Amino acid sequence: MAMNSQIGESRSIENSITAVILDLDGTLLNTEQATKSVLVEVLAKYGKVVDHDKEEKKLGMIHKDAAAAIVKDYDLPLSPQSYSQLIYPMYHEKWKKSKPLPGANRLLKHLRKHEVPFALASNSSRENVDMKISHHAGWRESFSVILGSNQVKMGKPAPDLFLESASRMGVDATHCLVIEDSVVGVQAAKAAGMKVVAIPSLPKAANQYSSADCLLHSLLDFQPEIWGLPPFEDCVDDSAFPIESIYLKGLFSNGLLYQSEDSKPSALPDQVSGLFFGWVKTNNGEIFKAVTNFRWNHGCCGSKRKIHVCIVDEIDAKVCDQQVQLMMVGYIRGFSVQEDLTAQVEVPEERKSAARVYLDLPMFSTRRDDPLFLQASWEDLYV
């Protein structure tokens, strides 16, 4: 299944969707990037380093199983219980800084506005789920049901969490749509007899999600109407809409943005992929309209994000080889490229022209005066 694929509109949905069930970590919240430094710090104490292949296989596991696997994989002189006691205070501090993933707030507000029941079903314990969402205003009150893995007999990949969520919402399982980021979550949803949209936390692992009904880059690509749910109402046209601002900084050279080494891990989630538009500010304070194409190259040596920046304003001088700041305020859905290409991808002229028009609309133009963008130091962008 190719990334960024939606079920075609001509394909009928056997059972209409009347409720949505969402995963938390890696689907709504960027907790996994925020906390990945914890394992690095703990292993360093014992003279060990992270094996990324092993960690990818733990994605979506309940904590008890993941802790046991870590102790075994790295031959740590700790029991799984001792390991948990060591890391949880560190996790608690990181969770406070976890940010919603692109499109998360937009989707929650939309479902709430249209009174579509939606549940939160996480492999984290209920106590940890409550702690994570407590830092995000209105989240706790929004969900019809909130469940952690310790509230059912078995966590994912067993279907218990999803079946219990449907039961508590009073909805038949076949009328539920699940949105997940992990393979075990997709397995659990299918075992529950539900439709499932997969948004992989690890872009290079997209080929492992073949059982999902739909595979997307991010929540920004989700189209509720395909599932019989009310469509989003914030679209400028069929493809573009406003997003919560994404701030970046780095060296702009030959059309590419090279992120500064001091950029924090949580600043740009792995789920950011596709075509965005906003402004670029040069080191002398000039501001230009820009389109940014984020994509992944997957090779034998790992995955690497490419950030192509195209200034769409008419300018006299060439902007190159200087530090710049970016603020992306809109997204253009439906623009996709082959992810294994290493050559720079040229943004179509019609997209550039559209971005120029979008950025003159009041819903976007007023955001150009964002103090964080205009006046911030580099460090302020990542507070």
CATH number of 219's domain? 3.40.50.1000
Look at residue 36 in the predicted model and tell me its pLDDT.
78
Closest CA to 206 of 77, 339, 75, 325: 339
Same domain, yes or no: 151 and 26: yes
Q: Can 23 be counted among the known catalytic residues? A: yes
Based on the fold, state whether residues 183 and 125 are members of the same structural domain: yes
Q: Are residues 280 and 185 in the same domain?
A: no
Are 185 and 330 in the same domain?
Answer: no
Our answer to whether residue 73 is catalytic in this structure is: no
pTM of the model: 0.86
pLDDT for 383: 36
Taking only the tens place, the pLDDT of each residue in 58-74 is: 777 778 888 898 999 99
**Do both 26 and 38 map to the same domain?**
no
* List 23, 181, 221, 270, catalytic entry: 23
Residue 334 pLDDT > 90? no
Average pLDDT over residues 255-264: 68
The yes-or-no verdict on residue 181 having pLDDT over 60 is yes
Do residues 302 and 288 make contact, with C-beta atoms less than 8 angstroms apart? Answer: no
In a domain, 2, yes or no: no
Answer yes or no: do 256 and 137 share one domain. no
Is position 105 within any domain? yes
Average pLDDT, the chain: 86
Amino acid at 146: I
Candidates 48, 77, 80; CA nearest to 66 is: 80
Q: Is residue 235 part of a domain?
A: no
Judging by beta carbons within 10 Å of its beta carbon (0-12, 13-18, 19+), is residue 303 exposed, middle or buried?
A: middle
User: 81-112: buried (b, 16+ CB within 10 Å) or exposed (e) per residue?
Assistant: eebbeebeeebeebbeebbbbbbbbbbbebbb
Determine, yes or no, domain membership for 81: yes
Share of the chain above pLDDT 70, in %: 86
| Boundary-marking domain end, from 95, 114, 141 | 95
Based on the fold, state whether residues 378 and 250 are members of the same structural domain. yes
The count of structural domains within the chain is 3
Whether residues 267 and 152 fall in one domain: no
Has residue 149 been placed in a domain?
Answer: yes
Residue 285 domain flag: yes
d(CA 339, CA 246): 22
**Can you give the residue range of the structural domain that contains 333?**
240-382
Residue with tokens 């964002």: 370
pLDDT at 100 over 90: yes
Same-domain status, 133 and 222 = yes
Same domain, 36 and 75: yes
What value does the mean pLDDT take over residues 77-94? 89
Catalytic residue among 25, 160, 221, 270: 25
The mean per-residue pLDDT over the stretch 144-155 comes to 97
Same domain, 248 and 371: yes
Three-state secondary structure call for residue 257 = strand
- Residue 233 is assigned to a structural domain of this protein: no
In a domain, 23, yes or no: yes
Q: CATH code at 348?
A: 2.40.30.30
